[in-house]
């Protein structure tokens, strides 16, 4: 709408005629500046425009096209839109949005009202009926009535008023319904893409930092020609351990010349990395293929919330550089496999095993023996921990103590058994101490010894281990393993500690979560048996489920037979990830139950496929 066609109207020129109930004009009041758009005023008579003949009587100089303009203004006045659960309308004559409480509160048609007034009210009511959309366009444009010229409109405000008007008209006429739920899939997809891009940017920035060292770091970190000396910055930083007779100047020089590869930047690798960097190890390698997750932060203290989603090796490397710029850090964002193990181990003086799976332990041990490198190994689970040193000063290696790997189903890791965050912190600190003693050539190492830590007591126990096995397959006098082998097949497990679903049942004995939901709606009687430990069952559970742990079931089969006397009754077994439930189905089959099934994927699949709000731990 062209603002030039809106005249300068004085509200005092109009008023309701109390005798006739209509509208009257005060012809004695002039309307100066009739065609000055910058001085336009709003006619606010109960939110409605006066009748057409009243406007015409006050504006004798209007051209014949003016009545049509008044009707257009009345139509514009009647446009209504729901914005943030309140009714608003666009008023002509000023750039302001007035509010109504509810559509029902709008003015009804009074008796004996002029025709144009009736038409305006009808237009408003019709617009209310057509407007079914709920949409937020913008915040209302409020203009103060107190400041002089507050109702004057700039060109930008007029454009905004016009644009808003046309949006209102389109919504009213089209009777369109905007439903944000229709766009939820696109929003989710874009969010995932955004997170992936953020992760990739973080990786590229970290790699760029590795290739482009800071000038100040280069000035501080000694090169190969100065590894035999300590500069003033190093003497000042490590002064408290330099004055120890056990370390001294010579021990610190040895520490500075040493290089350590830490395999695993998790619960054990975090304290080891920080304390080795604090002690002044000259070169530290961090190897980990995994990315930081929120569930890692309670024990992997080297990472931050801002590191979630980026590689652990990159996150740990950044933390070490911020902690001690005198130390050189090398990140290896890769898995430790038979393809790269020997090449990586040969580049460092001491190897730290901070992993959490059997296959990698055998691989690290064999690589260290074949490369003749000492291995500082540790483990932490629940409230217990242990530390030892393999293949050092004539001591045994890992294979000397464990020639054959245990069955995969008997091995419990932190993901399944849990761990208190401080336990790997304590054990990792002892690991770091052993590395420092080996690097400095001081003290007595834990070679041929095993330190056991019991956090519940608390108690430390030192156990003497068997000496090196002369018939060991790797470090014996006549070794049969002279190269790295396929440790996945050897151990029956992978190189990572990620949770995996085993398959020990026939496919016909397993159903998906969707199949269980369909059966649930069918109405047939059944028993849902949750075979997790009670401590996990207390975290979350499905409705109508009964809890009998797999351990208790095998310890006392009468628990099951008393609970489910009918061995032909349909039973669904459920656990956290679908592994223990398979064992439960197999055990119940041995007890004579004929109609028992496993729910594949367990509660993890339930949260992923059925109920995204179901807790995941």
Q: What is the pLDDT of residue 75?
A: 44
Mean pLDDT for the chain? 77
- Reply yes or no on whether 138 is catalytic: no
pLDDT at 578 over 80: yes
pLDDT at 226 over 70: no
Q: How confident is the model at residue 507 (pLDDT cuts 50, 70, 90)?
A: confident
- Per-residue pLDDT, averaged over 236-256, amounts to 95
3-state secondary structure of 498: coil
Q: In the block, which residue shows the tokens 């064992």? A: 583
pLDDT at 185 over 60: yes
pLDDT at 582 over 60: yes
Binding residues: 267, 288, 295-299, 312, 356-357, 397, 400, 472, 475
Q: Check: CB of residue 284 under 8 Å from CB of residue 262.
A: yes
In sequence order, the β-bridge partners of residue 375 are 351, 390
Q: What is the pLDDT of residue 183?
A: 62
Q: How confident is the model at residue 294 (pLDDT cuts 50, 70, 90)?
A: very high
The strands making up 545-547's β-sheet, listed across from edge to edge, are 510-511, 596-599, 571-574, 527-530, 545-547
Convert the pLDDT of each residue in 300-332 to its tens digit: 999 999 999 999 999 999 999 999 999 999 999
Q: How confident is the model at residue 206 (pLDDT cuts 50, 70, 90)?
A: low
Closest-CA residue to 81 (of 181, 160, 174, 171): 171
| Active-site option among 94, 172, 414, 513 | 414
Q: In the block, which residue shows the tokens 């393993």? A: 481
Burial of 279 (0-12, 13-18, 19+ CB in 10 A): buried
Q: How confident is the model at residue 212 (pLDDT cuts 50, 70, 90)?
A: low
Give the per-residue SS3 of 91-156: CCCCCCEEEECCHHHCCCCCCCCCHHHHHHHHHHHHHHHHCCCECCCCCCCCCCCCCCCCCCCCHH
Convert the pLDDT of each residue in 417-461 to its tens digit: 889 999 999 999 999 999 999 999 999 999 999 999 999 998 999
- Reply yes or no on whether 414 is catalytic: yes
pLDDT at 408 over 70: yes
Among 62-76, 438-452, 542-556, 602-616, whose mean pLDDT is lowest?
62-76
Binding residues for Zn(2+): 397, 400, 472, 475
Binding residues for ATP: 267, 288, 295-299, 312, 356-357
More confident residue, 469 or 191: 469
CA distance 287 to 269: 10
Q: Where are the alpha helices (DSSP H) in 463-617?
A: 487-491, 513-522, 534-537, 550-555, 558-563, 580-590, 602-605
Domains contained in the chain, CATH given: 258-491 (3.40.50.720), 507-610 (3.40.250.10)
């Amino acid at each position: 709408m062209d603002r030039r066609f809106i005249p300068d109207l004085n509200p005092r020129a109009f008023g309701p005629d109390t005798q006739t109930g209509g509208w009257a004009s005060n012809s004695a009041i002039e309307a100066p500046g009739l065609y000055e758009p910058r001085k336009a005023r709003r006619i606010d008579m109960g939110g409605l425009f006066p009748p057409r003949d009243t406007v015409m009587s006050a504006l004798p100089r209007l051209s014949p096209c003016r009545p049509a303009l008044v009707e257009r203004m009345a139509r514009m006045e009647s446009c209504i839109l729901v914005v943030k659960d309140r009714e608003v309308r666009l008023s002509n004559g000023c750039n302001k949005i007035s509010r109504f409480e509810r559509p029902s509160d709008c003015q009804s048609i009074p008796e004996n009202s002029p025709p144009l007034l009736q038409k305006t009210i009808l237009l408003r009511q019709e617009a209310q009926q057509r407007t079914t959309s709920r949409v937020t366009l913008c915040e209302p444009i409020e203009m103060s009535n107190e400041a002089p010229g507050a109702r004057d409109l700039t060109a930008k405000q007029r454009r905004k008023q016009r644009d808003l008007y046309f949006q209102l008209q389109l919504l009213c006429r089209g009777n369109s319904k905007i439903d944000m739920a229709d766009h939820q899939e696109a929003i989710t997809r874009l969010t995932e893409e955004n997170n992936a891009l953020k992760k990739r940017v973080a990786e590229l920035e970290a790699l760029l930092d590795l290739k482009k060292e800071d000038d100040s770091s280069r000035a501080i970190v000694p090169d190969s020609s100065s590894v035999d000396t300590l500069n003033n910055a190093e003497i000042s930083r490590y002064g408290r351990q330099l004055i120890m007779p056990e370390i001294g100047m010579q021990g610190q020089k040895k520490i500075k010349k040493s290089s350590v590869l830490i395999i695993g930047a998790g619960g054990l690798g975090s304290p080891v990395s920080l304390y080795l960097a604090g002690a002044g190890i000259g070169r530290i390698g961090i190897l980990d293929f995994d990315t930081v997750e929120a569930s890692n932060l309670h024990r992997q203290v080297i990472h931050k919330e801002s590191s979630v989603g980026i590689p652990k090796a990159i996150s740990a490397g950044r933390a070490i550089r911020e902690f001690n710029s005198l130390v050189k850090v090398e990140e290896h964002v890769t898995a430790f496999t038979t393809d790269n193990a020997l090449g990586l181990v040969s580049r460092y003086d001491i190897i730290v095993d901070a992993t959490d799976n059997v296959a990698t332990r055998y691989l690290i041990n064999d690589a260290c023996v074949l490369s003749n490198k000492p291995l500082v190994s540790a483990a932490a689970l629940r409230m217990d921990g242990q530390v030892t040193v393999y293949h050092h000063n004539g001591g045994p290696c890992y294979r000397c103590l464990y020639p054959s790997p245990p069955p995969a189903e008997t091995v419990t890791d932190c993901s399944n058994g849990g761990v208190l965050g401080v336990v790997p912190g304590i054990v990792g600190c002892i690991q770091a101490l052993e590395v420092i003693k080996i690097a400095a050539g001081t003290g007595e190492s834990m070679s041929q010894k095993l330190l056991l830590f019991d956090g519940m007591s608390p108690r430390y126990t030192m156990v003497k281990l068997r000496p090196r096995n002369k018939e060991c397959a790797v470090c014996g006098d006549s070794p049969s393993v002279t190269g790295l082998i396929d440790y996945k097949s050897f151990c029956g497990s992978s190189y990572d500690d990620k949770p995996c679903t085993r398959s020990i049942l026939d496919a016909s004995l397993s159903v998906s979560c969707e199949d269980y939901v369909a059966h649930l709606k069918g109405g047939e009687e059944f028993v849902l048996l949750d075979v997790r430990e009670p401590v996990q069952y207390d975290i979350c559970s499905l409705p109508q489920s009964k809890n009998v742990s797999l351990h208790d079931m095998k310890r006392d089969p009468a628990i099951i037979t008393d609970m489910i006397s009918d061995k032909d009754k349909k039973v669904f077994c459920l656990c956290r990830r679908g592994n223990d439930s398979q064992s439960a189905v197999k055990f119940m089959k041995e007890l004579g139950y004929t109609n028992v099934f496993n729910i594949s994927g367990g509660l993890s699949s339930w949260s992923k496929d059925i109920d995204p709000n179901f807790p995941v731990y």
